[in-house]
Amino acid sequence: MSIYNHFLEKPNGEILSMETYRNKTLLIVNTASQCDFTYQYEDLQRLYDKYKEKDFVILGLPSNQFGSQNPEDGETTRKKCMLHYGVQFPMFNLIEVNGPSAHPLYVDLKNAVTCRELQKSTMQDMMLYNHVLQHQPDFLRGNNIRWNFTKFLVSNEGKVLQRFEPNDSMLDIETAIENALAERAAY
């Protein structure tokens, strides 16, 4: 199924078709307002500012599935992210990303690319693995989203190119974005 067949709910309750983002390169991120990874909002905003003129968009989809780290509604989350982190990229209402109530967009994203093994040889992966194991061990199975701030890079044609774990380097993510945008410019 195409990502453009899905709909998202904005914080004001308005329903938005993913068709809105056709011909744009996307970074789709499940976020949370009270997570140890919230510092990434500033990095994400920097990427959005740097590449938005090249038809690049970041979509923030808050989820409260990971340690109840986004207990407020979508509008409160949007305002908090704008106030504390300067977030200007589109934010949406809370969704679930795992389990039987997972948003259909996330079902498709997870099915499109496999998650990488958490290498127990790196400190960052070991910390993430142990944290998920302690709090949500089921999320280590299959292609589940493991924690907040998992990112999916989607081409301007709607193809899911890559999945990034929450602890992956922003430099690696930026390089992947640049490659996707360069590939687009080549056509």
The CATH number assigned to the domain holding 170 equals 3.40.30.10
In a domain? residue 103? yes
In a domain? residue 161? yes
In a domain? residue 174? yes
**How high is the pLDDT of residue 163?**
96
**How high is the pLDDT of residue 14?**
95
C-alpha to C-alpha distance for 126 and 118, rounded to whole angstroms:
7
Domain that holds residue 162: 3-116+148-181
In a domain? residue 122? no
Q: 164 phi and psi, to 5 degrees?
A: -120, 135
In a domain? residue 159? yes
**Which of 18, 26, 27, 35 is the catalytic position?**
35
In a domain? residue 107? yes
In a domain? residue 127? no
Number of domains in the chain: 1
Average pLDDT of adjacent 10-residue blocks, the chain of 187 residues = 92 95 97 84 96 97 88 88 91 95 96 83 79 78 89 96 93 96 75
- For residue range 152-178, list pLDDT tens digits in order: 999 999 999 999 999 899 999 999 999
The C-alpha angle with vertex 33 and arms to 29 and 36, in degrees rounded to 5, equals 85
The closest alpha carbon to 177, from 32, 3, 26, belongs to 26
Q: In the block, which residue shows the tokens 């930026």?
A: 174
Q: Which residues contact 178 (CB under 8 A, 6 or more apart)?
A: none
Residue 45, token pair as written in the block: 């905003």
| pTM reported for the whole predicted model | 0.92
In the residue annotation, 35 being an active-site residue is answered as yes
In a domain? residue 11? yes
